[in-house]
Amino acid sequence: MLKHLPHWLLFTVGVCALGLALVLSPNDAVSQGDSARDYTSSISIPGQSGNIKLVSLTLPTQADAELTDKPLIENNTREADSDIAPPAPPTAVTTTKTVIATNTNDDAAPLIVVASISPNTAAVDTEVAVEATATASTHTAETIEETYSDLSALINPSATQESELKPVKVKNGDSLALILDRMGVSPRQVYDLVSVGEKTDPLTRLHPGDIINVDISDKGELKQLKYELDHERTLDVRSQLGQFDALIIYHDLERRVKSSTGVIQSSLFLSAKKAGLSTNLTMELASIFGWDIDFVLDIRTGDRFTVLYEEIFRDDEKVRDGNIIAAEFINQGKSHRAFRYTDAGNRAAYYTPEGRALKSTFLRTPIEFARVSSKFNLARKHPVLNRIRAHKGVDYAAPTGTAIRATANGKVIFRGTKGGYGSTVVLQHGSKYTTLYAHLSSFRKGVTSGKTVKQGNVIGYVGKTGLATGPHLHYEFRVNGVHRNPLTVELPSAAPIKKAYLADFQNTTQSLVAQLNELSETAVASVDN
Protein backbone atom coordinates (compact mmCIF):
# COMPACT_ATOMS: atom_id res chain seq x y z
CA MET A 1 0.00 0.00 0.00
CA LEU A 2 2.81 2.38 0.85
CA LYS A 3 4.27 2.01 -2.61
CA HIS A 4 1.24 3.83 -4.05
CA LEU A 5 1.77 6.91 -1.83
CA PRO A 6 3.51 9.95 -3.27
CA HIS A 7 7.24 10.22 -2.53
CA TRP A 8 6.83 13.60 -0.87
CA LEU A 9 4.35 12.10 1.64
CA LEU A 10 6.70 9.22 2.53
CA PHE A 11 9.49 11.74 3.11
CA THR A 12 7.29 13.81 5.44
CA VAL A 13 6.28 10.75 7.50
CA GLY A 14 9.93 9.75 7.93
CA VAL A 15 10.92 13.19 9.17
CA CYS A 16 8.10 13.22 11.71
CA ALA A 17 9.09 9.78 13.03
CA LEU A 18 12.63 10.91 13.49
CA GLY A 19 11.54 14.01 15.35
CA LEU A 20 9.31 11.94 17.61
CA ALA A 21 12.27 9.72 18.52
CA LEU A 22 14.41 12.73 19.38
CA VAL A 23 11.90 14.12 21.89
CA LEU A 24 11.31 10.87 23.72
CA SER A 25 11.59 11.31 27.52
CA PRO A 26 14.86 10.03 29.10
CA ASN A 27 12.69 8.12 31.53
CA ASP A 28 11.24 6.15 28.65
CA ALA A 29 14.70 5.24 27.41
CA VAL A 30 15.92 4.20 30.79
CA SER A 31 12.88 2.15 31.64
CA GLN A 32 13.61 -0.38 28.91
CA GLY A 33 15.31 -3.23 30.70
CA ASP A 34 17.76 -4.32 27.98
CA SER A 35 18.82 -0.82 27.02
CA ALA A 36 19.85 0.43 30.45
CA ARG A 37 21.87 -0.77 33.46
CA ASP A 38 22.94 0.38 36.92
CA TYR A 39 26.33 1.95 36.17
CA THR A 40 27.85 2.88 39.53
CA SER A 41 27.09 4.18 43.02
CA SER A 42 28.25 7.22 44.90
CA ILE A 43 29.53 8.49 48.25
CA SER A 44 27.99 11.28 50.30
CA ILE A 45 30.50 13.98 51.29
CA PRO A 46 30.27 17.59 52.51
CA GLY A 47 30.60 20.18 49.75
CA GLN A 48 31.22 23.88 49.80
CA SER A 49 27.62 24.51 48.69
CA GLY A 50 25.94 22.01 51.01
CA ASN A 51 25.87 18.31 51.75
CA ILE A 52 26.24 15.91 48.84
CA LYS A 53 23.55 13.23 48.55
CA LEU A 54 24.28 9.53 48.32
CA VAL A 55 22.91 8.53 44.92
CA SER A 56 22.91 5.69 42.41
CA LEU A 57 23.05 6.82 38.79
CA THR A 58 21.43 4.90 35.91
CA LEU A 59 22.94 5.40 32.46
CA PRO A 60 21.75 4.20 29.02
CA THR A 61 23.83 1.35 27.69
CA GLN A 62 24.51 3.18 24.45
CA ALA A 63 26.10 5.98 26.45
CA ASP A 64 28.87 3.69 27.75
CA ALA A 65 31.01 4.17 24.68
CA GLU A 66 30.67 7.93 25.04
CA LEU A 67 31.72 8.03 28.73
CA THR A 68 35.07 9.83 28.94
CA ASP A 69 36.86 12.01 31.49
CA LYS A 70 34.38 14.79 30.60
CA PRO A 71 31.45 15.08 33.07
CA LEU A 72 28.15 13.62 31.94
CA ILE A 73 25.07 15.67 32.87
CA GLU A 74 21.97 13.56 33.34
CA ASN A 75 18.58 14.78 34.50
CA ASN A 76 17.47 11.54 36.05
CA THR A 77 18.63 10.61 39.59
CA ARG A 78 17.18 8.65 42.46
CA GLU A 79 17.89 8.64 46.18
CA ALA A 80 19.85 5.61 47.44
CA ASP A 81 18.98 3.81 50.64
CA SER A 82 20.60 5.59 53.57
CA ASP A 83 21.98 2.37 55.04
CA ILE A 84 24.26 1.72 52.05
CA ALA A 85 27.85 2.22 53.21
CA PRO A 86 31.02 2.47 51.16
CA PRO A 87 33.74 -0.17 51.56
CA ALA A 88 35.60 -0.21 54.88
CA PRO A 89 39.08 1.40 55.07
CA PRO A 90 41.84 1.32 54.12
CA THR A 91 40.59 2.69 50.75
CA ALA A 92 41.76 4.98 47.98
CA VAL A 93 40.33 6.41 44.78
CA THR A 94 41.90 4.32 42.06
CA THR A 95 39.55 5.18 39.16
CA THR A 96 39.05 8.92 38.97
CA LYS A 97 36.08 8.83 36.56
CA THR A 98 33.58 11.31 37.97
CA VAL A 99 29.93 11.47 36.88
CA ILE A 100 27.77 14.49 37.61
CA ALA A 101 23.97 14.35 37.99
CA THR A 102 21.40 17.02 38.80
CA ASN A 103 17.81 17.00 39.94
CA THR A 104 15.60 19.28 37.87
CA ASN A 105 12.73 19.05 40.36
CA ASP A 106 14.62 20.82 43.15
CA ASP A 107 15.73 24.39 42.66
CA ALA A 108 18.05 24.15 45.64
CA ALA A 109 19.55 20.83 44.64
CA PRO A 110 22.68 19.86 46.60
CA LEU A 111 25.91 18.84 44.92
CA ILE A 112 26.04 15.22 43.81
CA VAL A 113 29.34 13.35 43.29
CA VAL A 114 29.91 9.82 42.03
CA ALA A 115 33.37 8.19 42.54
CA SER A 116 34.80 4.70 42.18
CA ILE A 117 36.49 3.38 45.37
CA SER A 118 38.99 0.50 45.72
CA PRO A 119 39.36 -1.24 49.13
CA ASN A 120 43.04 -2.13 48.67
CA THR A 121 45.06 0.93 49.63
CA ALA A 122 44.88 3.67 52.22
CA ALA A 123 43.32 6.99 51.28
CA VAL A 124 45.97 9.27 52.75
CA ASP A 125 47.71 12.36 51.34
CA THR A 126 46.15 11.94 47.88
CA GLU A 127 44.69 14.87 46.00
CA VAL A 128 41.71 14.36 43.75
CA ALA A 129 39.71 16.97 41.89
CA VAL A 130 36.01 16.32 42.37
CA GLU A 131 33.70 17.98 39.89
CA ALA A 132 30.12 18.78 40.80
CA THR A 133 27.19 20.64 39.30
CA ALA A 134 24.78 23.09 40.91
CA THR A 135 21.45 23.18 39.09
CA ALA A 136 18.52 25.56 38.92
CA SER A 137 15.07 25.07 37.46
CA THR A 138 16.30 26.53 34.19
CA HIS A 139 18.49 23.43 33.64
CA THR A 140 21.61 25.61 33.48
CA ALA A 141 24.65 23.97 35.06
CA GLU A 142 27.78 25.42 36.63
CA THR A 143 30.83 23.17 37.17
CA ILE A 144 32.53 23.55 40.57
CA GLU A 145 35.93 21.99 41.37
CA GLU A 146 36.68 20.86 44.94
CA THR A 147 40.08 19.48 46.00
CA TYR A 148 40.47 16.95 48.85
CA SER A 149 43.99 16.47 50.21
CA ASP A 150 42.82 13.56 52.37
CA LEU A 151 40.44 11.05 50.84
CA SER A 152 39.29 9.98 54.30
CA ALA A 153 36.61 12.63 53.73
CA LEU A 154 35.08 10.24 51.19
CA ILE A 155 35.00 7.28 53.57
CA ASN A 156 32.58 6.28 56.26
CA PRO A 157 33.79 8.29 59.31
CA SER A 158 33.21 5.36 61.67
CA ALA A 159 35.64 3.26 59.64
CA THR A 160 38.54 5.70 60.07
CA GLN A 161 38.37 6.29 63.82
CA GLU A 162 41.66 6.01 65.71
CA SER A 163 42.12 2.95 67.87
CA GLU A 164 41.14 3.52 71.50
CA LEU A 165 44.08 1.92 73.29
CA LYS A 166 43.61 1.07 76.95
CA PRO A 167 46.71 0.60 79.15
CA VAL A 168 46.82 -2.61 81.20
CA LYS A 169 49.44 -3.26 83.90
CA VAL A 170 50.81 -6.79 84.17
CA LYS A 171 50.30 -8.27 87.66
CA ASN A 172 52.13 -11.06 89.48
CA GLY A 173 51.21 -14.39 87.91
CA ASP A 174 49.78 -12.76 84.79
CA SER A 175 50.28 -14.00 81.26
CA LEU A 176 49.02 -12.53 78.01
CA ALA A 177 46.33 -15.22 77.83
CA LEU A 178 45.06 -14.42 81.35
CA ILE A 179 45.03 -10.68 80.70
CA LEU A 180 43.12 -10.94 77.42
CA ASP A 181 40.77 -13.58 78.84
CA ARG A 182 39.76 -11.13 81.58
CA MET A 183 38.96 -8.64 78.83
CA GLY A 184 36.77 -11.08 76.91
CA VAL A 185 39.14 -12.02 74.09
CA SER A 186 38.78 -15.58 72.80
CA PRO A 187 41.60 -18.14 73.30
CA ARG A 188 41.70 -18.56 69.52
CA GLN A 189 42.62 -14.91 69.02
CA VAL A 190 45.30 -15.15 71.71
CA TYR A 191 46.77 -18.18 69.96
CA ASP A 192 46.71 -16.42 66.59
CA LEU A 193 48.38 -13.39 68.18
CA VAL A 194 51.37 -15.21 69.69
CA SER A 195 51.70 -17.37 66.57
CA VAL A 196 52.45 -14.43 64.31
CA GLY A 197 56.17 -15.10 64.52
CA GLU A 198 59.36 -13.97 66.20
CA LYS A 199 58.17 -10.38 66.56
CA THR A 200 55.44 -11.35 69.05
CA ASP A 201 57.68 -13.68 71.13
CA PRO A 202 58.21 -10.97 73.81
CA LEU A 203 54.48 -11.17 74.58
CA THR A 204 55.09 -14.64 76.02
CA ARG A 205 57.65 -13.22 78.49
CA LEU A 206 55.74 -10.42 80.21
CA HIS A 207 56.98 -9.22 83.61
CA PRO A 208 55.03 -7.74 86.54
CA GLY A 209 54.80 -3.99 86.09
CA ASP A 210 54.95 -4.10 82.29
CA ILE A 211 52.30 -2.10 80.44
CA ILE A 212 50.46 -3.37 77.38
CA ASN A 213 48.00 -1.17 75.49
CA VAL A 214 45.01 -2.91 73.91
CA ASP A 215 42.01 -1.94 71.80
CA ILE A 216 39.14 -4.43 72.06
CA SER A 217 35.80 -4.12 70.29
CA ASP A 218 32.43 -4.39 72.02
CA LYS A 219 32.24 -7.95 70.68
CA GLY A 220 35.46 -8.92 72.46
CA GLU A 221 37.63 -8.91 69.35
CA LEU A 222 41.21 -7.70 69.75
CA LYS A 223 41.79 -4.93 67.21
CA GLN A 224 45.22 -3.64 68.24
CA LEU A 225 47.94 -4.25 70.86
CA LYS A 226 51.01 -2.14 71.61
CA TYR A 227 53.90 -3.17 73.88
CA GLU A 228 57.05 -1.13 74.50
CA LEU A 229 59.97 -3.54 74.16
CA ASP A 230 62.46 -0.90 75.32
CA HIS A 231 62.98 2.84 74.99
CA GLU A 232 63.91 2.45 71.33
CA ARG A 233 61.34 -0.09 70.08
CA THR A 234 57.59 -0.63 70.34
CA LEU A 235 55.71 -3.72 69.14
CA ASP A 236 52.50 -2.81 67.28
CA VAL A 237 50.11 -5.67 66.42
CA ARG A 238 46.91 -5.03 64.46
CA SER A 239 44.07 -7.19 63.22
CA GLN A 240 43.63 -6.95 59.44
CA LEU A 241 40.83 -8.94 57.78
CA GLY A 242 40.87 -11.56 60.54
CA GLN A 243 44.66 -11.91 60.68
CA PHE A 244 47.29 -10.26 62.89
CA ASP A 245 50.16 -8.25 61.44
CA ALA A 246 53.11 -7.31 63.70
CA LEU A 247 55.35 -4.31 63.22
CA ILE A 248 58.35 -3.06 65.22
CA ILE A 249 58.31 0.74 65.52
CA TYR A 250 61.72 2.35 66.06
CA HIS A 251 61.77 5.63 67.98
CA ASP A 252 64.20 8.46 67.33
CA LEU A 253 66.52 8.95 70.31
CA GLU A 254 68.55 12.06 71.07
CA ARG A 255 71.90 11.96 72.87
CA ARG A 256 72.83 14.95 75.00
CA VAL A 257 76.24 15.41 76.61
CA LYS A 258 76.40 16.60 80.21
CA SER A 259 79.22 17.13 82.67
CA SER A 260 79.65 16.63 86.39
CA THR A 261 82.43 17.34 88.87
CA GLY A 262 82.78 16.36 92.50
CA VAL A 263 85.09 16.09 95.49
CA ILE A 264 85.28 12.99 97.70
CA GLN A 265 84.08 13.78 101.22
CA SER A 266 83.39 10.34 102.69
CA SER A 267 82.68 7.89 99.85
CA LEU A 268 82.50 7.83 96.08
CA PHE A 269 78.78 7.01 96.12
CA LEU A 270 77.76 9.91 98.33
CA SER A 271 79.98 12.40 96.53
CA ALA A 272 78.81 11.23 93.10
CA LYS A 273 75.17 11.48 94.15
CA LYS A 274 75.77 15.02 95.40
CA ALA A 275 77.33 15.85 92.02
CA GLY A 276 74.21 14.63 90.20
CA LEU A 277 75.46 11.27 88.94
CA SER A 278 73.06 8.33 88.93
CA THR A 279 73.95 5.02 90.56
CA ASN A 280 74.54 3.46 87.13
CA LEU A 281 76.99 6.18 86.11
CA THR A 282 78.78 5.93 89.46
CA MET A 283 79.21 2.19 88.99
CA GLU A 284 80.50 2.74 85.46
CA LEU A 285 82.98 5.36 86.70
CA ALA A 286 84.31 2.92 89.31
CA SER A 287 84.48 0.16 86.70
CA ILE A 288 86.47 2.31 84.25
CA PHE A 289 89.19 3.15 86.78
CA GLY A 290 88.82 -0.05 88.82
CA TRP A 291 91.93 -1.63 87.28
CA ASP A 292 94.15 1.24 88.48
CA ILE A 293 92.34 2.40 91.63
CA ASP A 294 91.02 0.31 94.51
CA PHE A 295 87.90 2.24 95.49
CA VAL A 296 87.83 0.50 98.87
CA LEU A 297 91.42 1.06 100.00
CA ASP A 298 92.86 3.85 97.86
CA ILE A 299 90.19 6.59 98.09
CA ARG A 300 91.10 9.68 100.13
CA THR A 301 89.15 12.74 101.24
CA GLY A 302 89.81 15.52 98.74
CA ASP A 303 90.10 13.22 95.71
CA ARG A 304 88.30 14.76 92.71
CA PHE A 305 86.48 13.48 89.65
CA THR A 306 85.22 15.04 86.41
CA VAL A 307 82.83 13.19 84.11
CA LEU A 308 81.49 13.84 80.59
CA TYR A 309 78.54 11.54 79.92
CA GLU A 310 75.50 11.07 77.71
CA GLU A 311 71.81 11.21 78.55
CA ILE A 312 69.31 9.61 76.16
CA PHE A 313 66.07 11.46 75.37
CA ARG A 314 62.91 10.49 73.48
CA ASP A 315 60.37 13.18 72.63
CA ASP A 316 62.28 15.60 74.86
CA GLU A 317 61.99 13.26 77.86
CA LYS A 318 64.98 11.51 79.43
CA VAL A 319 64.63 7.75 79.18
CA ARG A 320 68.01 6.51 80.46
CA ASP A 321 71.68 7.25 81.04
CA GLY A 322 74.11 6.89 78.17
CA ASN A 323 77.81 6.10 78.28
CA ILE A 324 80.61 7.97 79.99
CA ILE A 325 82.59 9.40 77.07
CA ALA A 326 85.44 10.96 79.06
CA ALA A 327 86.44 11.06 82.71
CA GLU A 328 89.22 12.09 85.06
CA PHE A 329 89.83 10.84 88.60
CA ILE A 330 92.52 12.47 90.72
CA ASN A 331 93.49 9.98 93.42
CA GLN A 332 96.04 11.02 96.05
CA GLY A 333 97.28 13.74 93.69
CA LYS A 334 97.70 11.45 90.66
CA SER A 335 95.53 12.08 87.59
CA HIS A 336 93.86 9.15 85.83
CA ARG A 337 92.07 9.90 82.55
CA ALA A 338 89.87 7.72 80.34
CA PHE A 339 88.31 8.26 76.90
CA ARG A 340 85.73 6.04 75.26
CA TYR A 341 86.58 5.15 71.66
CA THR A 342 84.72 2.96 69.15
CA ASP A 343 86.81 1.62 66.28
CA ALA A 344 85.76 0.77 62.72
CA GLY A 345 84.79 -2.70 63.88
CA ASN A 346 82.26 -1.17 66.32
CA ARG A 347 84.37 -2.28 69.32
CA ALA A 348 84.20 0.22 72.18
CA ALA A 349 86.68 0.48 75.05
CA TYR A 350 88.29 3.04 77.37
CA TYR A 351 91.85 4.24 76.79
CA THR A 352 94.34 6.62 78.35
CA PRO A 353 95.27 9.76 76.34
CA GLU A 354 98.23 7.78 74.97
CA GLY A 355 96.00 4.95 73.72
CA ARG A 356 96.72 2.42 76.48
CA ALA A 357 93.74 0.21 77.28
CA LEU A 358 92.46 0.84 80.80
CA LYS A 359 90.82 -2.53 80.97
CA SER A 360 93.04 -5.20 82.45
CA THR A 361 92.68 -8.87 81.83
CA PHE A 362 91.75 -9.08 85.55
CA LEU A 363 89.43 -7.13 87.81
CA ARG A 364 91.19 -5.95 90.92
CA THR A 365 88.38 -7.14 93.22
CA PRO A 366 85.64 -9.79 92.81
CA ILE A 367 83.08 -7.83 94.89
CA GLU A 368 82.07 -4.24 94.24
CA PHE A 369 82.69 -1.81 97.12
CA ALA A 370 83.09 -4.47 99.81
CA ARG A 371 85.13 -3.84 102.94
CA VAL A 372 88.48 -5.64 103.29
CA SER A 373 88.27 -7.40 106.65
CA SER A 374 91.58 -9.27 106.43
CA LYS A 375 94.55 -8.63 104.15
CA PHE A 376 97.16 -10.92 102.64
CA ASN A 377 99.49 -11.93 105.51
CA LEU A 378 101.76 -14.96 105.62
CA ALA A 379 102.12 -14.68 109.44
CA ARG A 380 98.52 -14.05 110.47
CA LYS A 381 96.94 -15.69 113.53
CA HIS A 382 93.88 -17.65 112.39
CA PRO A 383 90.71 -16.37 114.16
CA VAL A 384 89.17 -19.85 114.47
CA LEU A 385 92.21 -22.12 114.95
CA ASN A 386 93.87 -19.53 117.22
CA ARG A 387 97.34 -20.21 115.86
CA ILE A 388 99.69 -18.70 113.31
CA ARG A 389 98.58 -19.68 109.87
CA ALA A 390 99.44 -17.90 106.65
CA HIS A 391 96.55 -15.95 105.18
CA LYS A 392 97.23 -16.37 101.48
CA GLY A 393 94.42 -14.21 100.21
CA VAL A 394 92.15 -11.28 100.99
CA ASP A 395 88.86 -11.40 102.91
CA TYR A 396 85.99 -9.14 101.82
CA ALA A 397 83.23 -8.68 104.41
CA ALA A 398 79.79 -8.50 102.79
CA PRO A 399 76.20 -9.52 103.56
CA THR A 400 75.19 -13.11 102.84
CA GLY A 401 74.01 -13.42 99.24
CA THR A 402 76.18 -10.65 97.81
CA ALA A 403 77.13 -11.50 94.21
CA ILE A 404 80.71 -12.64 93.51
CA ARG A 405 82.19 -11.97 90.05
CA ALA A 406 84.83 -13.81 88.08
CA THR A 407 87.82 -11.45 87.91
CA ALA A 408 88.82 -12.64 84.43
CA ASN A 409 87.78 -14.91 81.59
CA GLY A 410 88.49 -18.49 82.58
CA LYS A 411 87.48 -22.10 83.01
CA VAL A 412 85.93 -23.66 86.11
CA ILE A 413 88.37 -26.33 87.30
CA PHE A 414 86.76 -26.89 90.72
CA ARG A 415 83.31 -26.35 92.14
CA GLY A 416 82.33 -27.93 95.44
CA THR A 417 83.33 -28.25 99.11
CA LYS A 418 87.05 -27.85 99.90
CA GLY A 419 87.88 -28.42 103.58
CA GLY A 420 88.06 -25.22 105.63
CA TYR A 421 87.33 -23.17 102.51
CA GLY A 422 83.76 -24.46 102.52
CA SER A 423 81.89 -24.06 99.24
CA THR A 424 84.56 -23.03 96.75
CA VAL A 425 85.08 -22.17 93.07
CA VAL A 426 88.52 -22.26 91.39
CA LEU A 427 89.06 -20.71 87.95
CA GLN A 428 91.94 -21.30 85.54
CA HIS A 429 92.99 -18.30 83.42
CA GLY A 430 95.28 -19.52 80.67
CA SER A 431 98.33 -21.50 81.72
CA LYS A 432 99.72 -18.99 84.21
CA TYR A 433 96.97 -17.71 86.53
CA THR A 434 94.34 -19.22 88.86
CA THR A 435 91.87 -17.56 91.24
CA LEU A 436 89.99 -19.06 94.20
CA TYR A 437 86.67 -17.95 95.77
CA ALA A 438 85.77 -19.52 99.15
CA HIS A 439 83.09 -19.63 101.91
CA LEU A 440 80.25 -19.25 99.36
CA SER A 441 76.65 -19.64 100.51
CA SER A 442 75.63 -20.99 97.09
CA PHE A 443 76.81 -21.32 93.51
CA ARG A 444 75.39 -19.54 90.49
CA LYS A 445 73.24 -21.87 88.40
CA GLY A 446 75.23 -23.24 85.49
CA VAL A 447 78.63 -22.79 87.13
CA THR A 448 80.01 -26.33 87.02
CA SER A 449 83.41 -27.91 86.44
CA GLY A 450 84.51 -27.57 82.84
CA LYS A 451 82.33 -24.54 82.09
CA THR A 452 83.85 -21.27 80.85
CA VAL A 453 83.02 -17.89 82.34
CA LYS A 454 83.51 -14.30 81.25
CA GLN A 455 85.07 -11.50 83.25
CA GLY A 456 82.38 -10.00 85.48
CA ASN A 457 80.06 -13.03 85.36
CA VAL A 458 78.49 -13.92 88.71
CA ILE A 459 79.80 -17.31 89.85
CA GLY A 460 78.39 -17.50 93.38
CA TYR A 461 77.22 -15.66 96.49
CA VAL A 462 78.82 -14.60 99.78
CA GLY A 463 78.35 -16.92 102.76
CA LYS A 464 80.19 -18.37 105.77
CA THR A 465 80.64 -22.04 104.94
CA GLY A 466 83.81 -23.81 106.16
CA LEU A 467 86.00 -22.18 108.82
CA ALA A 468 84.47 -18.70 108.93
CA THR A 469 83.33 -16.46 111.77
CA GLY A 470 80.94 -14.43 109.63
CA PRO A 471 79.79 -13.92 106.05
CA HIS A 472 82.67 -12.93 103.80
CA LEU A 473 84.54 -13.90 100.62
CA HIS A 474 88.05 -15.32 100.79
CA TYR A 475 89.83 -14.54 97.48
CA GLU A 476 93.19 -15.91 96.35
CA PHE A 477 95.34 -15.04 93.34
CA ARG A 478 98.05 -17.43 92.15
CA VAL A 479 100.76 -16.94 89.51
CA ASN A 480 102.32 -20.21 88.35
CA GLY A 481 100.93 -21.85 91.49
CA VAL A 482 102.44 -19.25 93.87
CA HIS A 483 100.13 -17.14 96.07
CA ARG A 484 100.37 -13.40 95.44
CA ASN A 485 98.73 -10.47 97.20
CA PRO A 486 95.57 -9.77 95.16
CA LEU A 487 95.67 -6.10 96.18
CA THR A 488 99.18 -5.39 94.93
CA VAL A 489 100.03 -7.98 92.29
CA GLU A 490 100.81 -6.49 88.89
CA LEU A 491 97.93 -7.42 86.64
CA PRO A 492 98.45 -8.06 82.92
CA SER A 493 97.05 -5.25 80.77
CA ALA A 494 94.78 -5.62 77.79
CA ALA A 495 96.12 -4.81 74.33
CA PRO A 496 96.55 -1.08 73.51
CA ILE A 497 94.62 0.58 70.74
CA LYS A 498 95.64 -0.67 67.29
CA LYS A 499 98.09 1.53 65.39
CA ALA A 500 95.65 1.75 62.49
CA TYR A 501 93.17 3.57 64.77
CA LEU A 502 95.61 5.67 66.82
CA ALA A 503 95.46 8.81 64.63
CA ASP A 504 91.65 8.72 64.53
CA PHE A 505 91.55 8.17 68.30
CA GLN A 506 93.70 11.24 68.92
CA ASN A 507 91.59 13.39 66.58
CA THR A 508 88.38 12.16 68.21
CA THR A 509 89.54 12.78 71.77
CA GLN A 510 91.20 16.16 71.18
CA SER A 511 88.06 18.17 71.97
CA LEU A 512 87.28 15.92 74.97
CA VAL A 513 90.73 16.59 76.42
CA ALA A 514 90.09 20.33 76.14
CA GLN A 515 86.71 19.99 77.89
CA LEU A 516 88.20 17.95 80.73
CA ASN A 517 90.96 20.53 81.18
CA GLU A 518 88.44 23.37 81.40
CA LEU A 519 86.12 21.51 83.80
CA SER A 520 89.02 20.41 86.00
CA GLU A 521 90.39 23.95 86.25
CA THR A 522 86.94 25.28 87.14
CA ALA A 523 86.53 22.61 89.82
CA VAL A 524 89.91 23.41 91.37
CA ALA A 525 89.11 27.12 91.40
CA SER A 526 85.77 26.52 93.13
CA VAL A 527 87.44 24.35 95.80
CA ASP A 528 90.14 26.94 96.45
CA ASN A 529 87.50 29.62 96.90
Residue 14 has pLDDT above 90, yes or no: no
Q: Where are the alpha helices (DSSP H) in 115-209?
A: 176-182, 187-194
pLDDT at position 171:
93
Tell me the DSSP string of 429-452: ETTTEEEEEESEEEEPTT--TT-E
pLDDT at position 445:
93
Residue 134 has pLDDT above 60, yes or no: no
The full set of domain ranges for the chain reads: 24-159, 166-250, 371-484
CATH number assigned to the domain covering 166-250: 3.10.450.350
* pLDDT cut 90: percent of the chain above it: 47
Residue 379 has pLDDT above 60, yes or no: no
pLDDT at position 375:
81
* Report for 84-93, 107-116, 312-321: range of highest mean pLDDT: 312-321
What mean pLDDT is predicted for residues 284-308? 88
What mean pLDDT is predicted for residues 228-251? 92
Contact 49, 135 (CB under 8 A): no
pLDDT at position 529:
55
pLDDT at position 345:
86
> What is the pLDDT confidence band of residue 7, given thresholds at 50, 70 and 90?
low
> What is the pLDDT confidence band of residue 368, given thresholds at 50, 70 and 90?
confident
Q: Which residues contact 397 (CB under 8 A, 6 or more apart)?
A: 370, 371, 372, 373, 470, 471, 472
The mean-pLDDT minimum among 253-267, 293-307, 513-527 falls in 513-527
What mean pLDDT is predicted for residues 72-83? 39
Report the chain's mean pLDDT, rounded to a whole number: 75
pLDDT at position 166:
92
> What is the pLDDT confidence band of residue 13, given thresholds at 50, 70 and 90?
low
pLDDT at position 385:
55
511 burial level (CB within 10 Å; 0-12, 13-18, 19+): exposed
Tell me the DSSP string of 447-477: --TT-EE-TT-EEEEEB--SS-SSSEEEEEE
Question: Which tens digit of pLDDT belongs to each residue from 434-472?
Answer: 999 999 999 999 999 999 999 999 999 999 999 888 999
Pick 41 or 497 by higher pLDDT: 497
The mean-pLDDT minimum among 49-53, 182-186, 351-355 falls in 49-53
Q: Which CATH number fits domain 371-484: 2.70.70.10, 3.30.9.10, 2.170.190.11, 3.40.50.20?
A: 2.70.70.10
The mean-pLDDT minimum among 68-77, 193-202, 431-440 falls in 68-77
pLDDT at position 17:
53
pLDDT at position 491:
82
Residue 336 exposure: Cα atoms within 13 Å on the Cβ side: 19
> What is the pLDDT confidence band of residue 30, given thresholds at 50, 70 and 90?
very low
Q: Please state the φ and ψ torsions of residue 11, each to the nearest 5 degrees.
A: -60, -40
pLDDT at position 110:
43
CA of 268: how far to CAs of 79, 144, 301, 340, in Å? 82, 76, 10, 21
Pick 156 or 186 by higher pLDDT: 186
Pick 131 or 171 by higher pLDDT: 171
Q: Could you report how far apart the first and last alpha carbons of the chain are, in Å? A: 134
Return d(Cα 88, Cα 239) in angstroms, integer.
14
What mean pLDDT is predicted for residues 275-293? 90
Contact 99, 77 (CB under 8 A): no
What mean pLDDT is predicted for residues 505-522? 90
Pick 68 or 231 by higher pLDDT: 231
pLDDT at position 520:
81
pLDDT at position 460:
97
Contact 447, 475 (CB under 8 A): no
Element (H, E) at 286: helix 279-289
Contact 214, 168 (CB under 8 A): yes
Long-range contacts of residues 264-270, Cβ cutoff 8 Å, at least 24 apart: 264/299, 264/300, 264/301, 264/302, 264/303, 264/304, 264/305, 265/301, 266/301, 267/299, 268/295, 268/299, 268/305, 269/369
pLDDT at position 297:
77
Pick 365 or 115 by higher pLDDT: 365
Pick 289 or 67 by higher pLDDT: 289
- Do 166-250 and 371-484 fold alike per CATH? no
Q: Look at residue 81 and give its three-state secondary structure.
A: coil
> What is the pLDDT confidence band of residue 490, given thresholds at 50, 70 and 90?
confident
pLDDT at position 389:
62
